[in-house]
Amino acid sequence: MDFQVEALEEALQSLGAVLEQRHTPYGLLVVGGSSLLLLGLIDRPTGDLDVVGLAEDGRYHKIAELPAPLASAAAQVGRALDLADNWLNTGPASLMDFGLPESWERRIEVRRYGALEVHLPSRFDQICFKLYAAVDRGPNDKHYRDLQALEPSSEELRQAARWTIMHDSSAGFRSQLVGCLASMGVEVGNGDI
């Protein structure tokens, strides 16, 4: 089942209620299509919610897998709402390995669903993530289309490009990055990224 915003909100409300009943609150740092959907930045359906980290005591840290109590609650909600087994997952958690865009923590928007907090990176941070995901996939991919939907300025794309090469500094990636930017009308020289 793909989420429209209403179904995603229902799943999060249900998860927050289960976590509240179990006295196991969580703060989740999320990215991807569902986070864009929650922020109202896209309107395409999405199949899952990508968790890259936990928010605890005002700090964020990467998680490789969902903690057992959270995974159990997500499974219960998934069964009740007929969702995919991986509707809540840590697939892109490697984004945290080399750091998120500078000052991203100050731009977070927090949504509360009972005992669940969902921490949403800002539009600019999402541009960074979507550019990184779109580089090697081309204009027919959902990440590329999401990036277009964010309507980034040339300067935002240049800033995002500088962040992406911190995650992959290979010559091949840089070449694909330049091509991706050019396809979006942004010409860059060697000193730009």
User: Looking at the predicted structure, is the pLDDT value of residue 159 above 70?
Assistant: yes
Which residues are bridge partners to 112 per DSSP? 117
Could you give the 3-state DSSP secondary structure of residue 38? helix
How far apart CA 113 and CA 26 sit, in angstroms, is 10
Q: What pLDDT shows up at residue 136?
A: 80
3-state secondary structure at position 189: coil
**68-127 pLDDT, tens digit each:** 999 999 999 999 999 999 999 999 889 999 899 999 999 999 999 999 999 999 999 999
Q: Confirm whether pTM is higher than 0.85.
A: yes
Residue 1 has a pLDDT of: 61
Over residues 131-155, the pLDDT tens digits come to 999 998 888 899 999 999 999 999 9
Q: Which amino acid is at 127?
A: I
Q: Are 96 and 132 in contact (CB under 8 A)?
A: no
Predicted local confidence at residue 37, as pLDDT: 94
Of 187 and 53, more confident: 53
Mean pLDDT of the chain: 93
Burial 19-35 (b: 16+ CB within 10 A, else e): beeeebbbbbbbbbbbb
Contact in structure between 18 and 77 (CB atoms under 8 Å): yes
